[in-house]
Amino acid sequence: MVAMRNIVLLLLCITVVAPIVLYTDRLGTYKSPSTKEEFIEDVTAFVGAGDSGHLNLLPQETSTALKEPIGVVYTEDLTETKNLPRERPMVVESREHVSARVLSTTTEEDQGRKESLIRLVTDKQGNEGNTLEKADGGGGENVNSEDAIDVDDSDAKLTKSDRASDRESQVKDIKQEPQATIASSNINKKILSGETNKQKEQMPPDAKVQQLKDQLIQAKIFLSLPVVKSNSHLTRELRLRVKEVSRTLGDASKDSDLPRNANERIKAMEQTLLKGKQAQDDCAAVVKKLRAMIHSTEEQLHAHKKQTLFLTQLTAKTLPKGLHCLPLRLTTEYYSLNSSQQQFPNQEKLEDPRLYHYAIFSDNILAAAVVVNSTAINAKDTSKHVFHIVTDRLNYAAMRMWFLANPPGNATIQVQNIEDFTWLNASYSPVLRQLGSPSMIDYYFKTHRATSDSNLKFRNPKYLSILNHLRFYLPEIFPKLNKVLFLDDDIVVKKDLTGLWAVDLKGNVNGAVETCGESFHRFDRYLNFSHPLIAKNFDPRACGWAYGMNIFDLAEWKRQNITEVYHNWQNLNHDRQLWKLGTLPPGLITFWKRTFPLNRSWHVLGLGYNPNVNQRDIDRAAVIHYNGNLKPWLEISIPKFRSHWTKYVDYDHVYLRECNINP
């Protein structure tokens, strides 16, 4: 009985003591890990050997395949993670060897951005791993297994939260990528639409009109080719298209004038022309026909230009009906006045050299009225301005009546008849002898010859009028004056002109604005330098100047005997070999080296022939000049310049209404 009890106690002791001895021996052989990897292996073995269920954190199977979400950044462990706890997926050995990739369905344009995002995530994960390794390795020797587990567990939780936040930010970035792509596509669309709008703006306003005209030419060429003529169906179709396009084109000069079906007509004609191209394979015949059409068109263009030039010259020297009516109406009114009513006031000022005197030679009543009105309106003190108007016998009474009924403020008016200048006769003036010669009359009035002359403008009968040549006899007309401002009747004054009397001409006779800004305003344009007399005395590239607004020093004129110089050159040009008729060529010769150049802002020219005159120059000008055939009182005038002239005409005036003169 005692023996049995001892055996039971022995077995009991063995059962109790043996596990204690074995456990104590295992703890005695435990060594602290020197590296992160050894520490993880020990902990794994220790946990796996334990009996407590809550310490066995490993899943039963870790080889389950995960589906890769499209467009999501993820990491992939390259080492075995079989024995690692779930809470520490980022503390494995593979952290130093982690790689990242992106599965995306976006375009190649977004690939660079995603790769940079992957590198950012990878670097962040690597940095976290390095930090954790340092923390594990630094305190490994003084921490027991349970403390190590607690530390790892807390670290795992922190790492897990960091990873979750990283993934959330990555997902946000990825969600933003489609928005960025949409925004970029919208920007691209805007850019493309902007470029399209620019292209539309750059397209000429008559692009479709020109296209329709080109199609008509092509269709006519096909209709004239034998191959197309033999195809009756194609011929009928081409003729139908030609009628449709011609009807669509009409008188349109720009695309906005075309009807709405213009695009349909263009497409239909294109299809028909394509059939013609397929039927016609002989390029030589097409080229031959095109050459014939070009030659014919050039001949027609030359004929039209010639006819246009002649008609323009004819229009320029023909007054409208209203301007013929006006002098008749005024003449009738003038002779109904008594002699006292026919006189102008302030006649004592006519020879006062202290005042500002203007010389205007014209047979156009309305044009002279604009010159006087514009000058007086822009003058600072009209009482000091005197206007000397010389006209012919036909318009003398009408001119006086106009200014008697419409005095220009306090300015003084004098109207003279050229017939009263008895000293101006053929024995004194060479130009009068020439203008009355049979050869000169034949030159001007043989219209069948005039149409073939290349210099039609020199055949204008205005050159037959002595009024045009009175500018060379100013000292004889105004013997008691020292200075006179000469004004053409096709100018408009926009500023006060009294400053011209203060200009020092430095011993010159003529003060004028030079016109050598353009090549055709030099001496070789007006004078015949093939003649030895011209070539010997003048420079072909000398700068010309403008008539129309000239300040003349009459005292210096008399001293240098300018009128005699003019007469000498007129006698030398009796056969018109030195220059064509006119006043500018003899003026260039007579005042050669006797002209002082004025500032260009005093006198701007070209409003009667050049539609491209700079508006800034017009605004700054003191005088604007409608030199050329497109006079402002004619229907052929340049519309945008006409308002500068019409603003000084009162179209509500009773005389203008009676003669039906409208702006």
Question: Do residues 163 and 90 lie in contact, with contact meaning Cβ atoms separated by under 8 Å?
Answer: yes
Q: Which of 37-46, 100-109, 118-127, 161-170 has the lowest mean pLDDT?
A: 100-109
CA distance 248 to 259: 7
Q: Report the pLDDT value the prediction gives residue 317, as an integer from 0 to 100.
A: 65
**Quick check: 127 pLDDT over 60?**
no
Hey, what are 509's tokens?
């006779």
In the structure, what pLDDT confidence band is assigned to residue 576 with cuts at 50, 70 and 90?
Answer: confident
Strand partners, 416: 390
- Please return the burial class of 160, using the count of CB atoms within 10 Å of its CB with bins 0-12, 13-18 and 19+: middle
Which has the minimum average pLDDT: 419-428, 442-451, 540-549, 595-604? 442-451
265 neighbors 243 (Cβ within 8 angstroms): no
CA atoms within 13 A on the CB side of 198: 6
Q: Return the SS3 of 624.
A: strand
Q: Give the residue-averaged pLDDT of 44-69.
A: 45
Q: 365 with 398: CB under 8 angstroms?
A: yes
Residue 307 has pLDDT above 60, yes or no: yes
Range 476-499 average pLDDT: 96
Q: What is the pLDDT of residue 131?
A: 45
**pLDDT computed for residue 555 by the predictor:** 96
Answer whether 0.85 is exceeded by the pTM: no
Instruction: Give the residue-averaged pLDDT of 472-477.
Output: 96
pLDDT digits (tens, 9 = 90+) for 190-239: 555 655 565 555 778 888 888 888 888 888 888 888 888 888 888 999 99
Residue 52 has pLDDT above 80, yes or no: no
Nearest C-alpha neighbor of 366 from the set 629, 655, 606: 655
Q: How confident is the model at residue 441 (pLDDT cuts 50, 70, 90)?
A: low
Return the structure tokens found at 548: 């129309």
The whole-number pLDDT of residue 100 equals 41
H helices within 480-599, ranges in order?
A: 523-526, 532-537, 554-560, 562-572, 584-590
Does residue 176 register a pLDDT over 60?
no
Residue closest to 627 by CA, chosen among 549, 518, 525, 552:
549
Instruction: Quote the tokens at residue 573.
Output: 């040009």
Choose among 621, 485, 635, 631: nearest CA to 549: 485
User: What pLDDT shows up at residue 365?
Assistant: 95
CA angle 91-95-96, nearest 5°?
135
**Angle ∠(541,582,428) on CA atoms, nearest 5:** 115
> Residues 6 or more apart from 259 whose CB is under 8 A from it?
248
Round to whole Å and give the CA distance between 96 and 129: 7
What is the distance between the alpha carbons of residues 42 and 31, in angstroms, rounded to a whole number? 9
Exposure letters 358-376 (e unless 16+ CB within 10 A, then b): bbbbbbbbbbbbbbbbbbb
Give the Cα separation of 340 and 319 in Å (integer): 32
Residue 311, pLDDT score:
76
Residues 608-634 have a mean pLDDT of: 93
The CA distances from residue 487 to 81, 203, 416, 595, in Å, are: 109, 45, 16, 17
pLDDT band at 419 (very low <50, low <70, confident <90, very high): very high
pLDDT (tens digit, 9 = 90+) per residue, 502-559?
Answer: 999 999 999 999 988 654 578 888 899 999 999 999 999 899 999 999 999 999 999 9
Spatial contact of 409 and 378, defined as CB atoms under 8 Å apart:
no
Better-predicted residue by pLDDT, 339 or 65? 339
When pLDDT is averaged across residues 586-607 and rounded to a whole number, the result is: 95
In a 13 Å sphere around the CA of 414, the CA atoms on its Cβ side amount to 19
Helices 207-223 & 262-279, crossing angle to 10 degrees? Answer: 30
Q: Does 284 or 470 have the greater pLDDT score?
A: 470
pLDDT band at 608 (very low <50, low <70, confident <90, very high): very high
pLDDT in tens, 64-92: 444 444 444 444 444 444 444 444 444 43
Judged against a pLDDT cut of 50, whether residue 560 lies above it is answered with yes
**Residue 10 or residue 2, greater confidence:** 10
* Residue 126 contacts residue 98 (beta carbons within 8 Å): yes
N- to C-terminal Cα distance for the chain? 154
pLDDT, tens only, 86-123: 444 444 344 444 444 444 444 444 555 545 544 544 45
**Tokens of residue 481, six digits:** 């004056």
* Edge-to-edge strand list for the sheet holding 385-391: 412-417, 385-391, 356-361, 483-487, 549-553, 510-512, 595-597
> What is the average pLDDT across 359-375?
96
- Would you list the DSSP string of 410-468? T-EEEEEEGGG-TT-STTT-HHHHHHTSHHHHHHHH-HHHHTT-S-GGGG-GGGG-GGG
Angle between helix axes 36-49 and 111-138 (nearest 10 degrees) is 70
Residue 240 pLDDT: 92
- The percent of residues above 70 in pLDDT, for the chain, comes to 67
Q: What is the pLDDT of the chain when averaged over all its residues?
A: 77
Q: What is the DSSP string of 254-316?
A: SGGGS-TTHHHHHHHHHHHHHHHHHH---HHHHHHHHHHHHHHHHHHHHHHHHHHHHHHHHHH
What pLDDT does 96 receive?
43
Q: How confident is the model at residue 155 (pLDDT cuts 50, 70, 90)?
A: very low
Rounded Cα gap, residues 494 and 619, in angstroms: 9
The predicted pLDDT at position 139 comes to: 43
Q: What are the residues whose beta carbons fall under 8 Å from the beta carbon of 154, sequence distance 6 or more?
A: none
Helices (H), 317-395: 321-334, 365-377
Is the predicted pLDDT of residue 151 greater than 60, yes or no? no
User: What was the pLDDT predicted at 6?
Assistant: 79
Please say if the pLDDT value at position 375 is more than 70.
Answer: yes
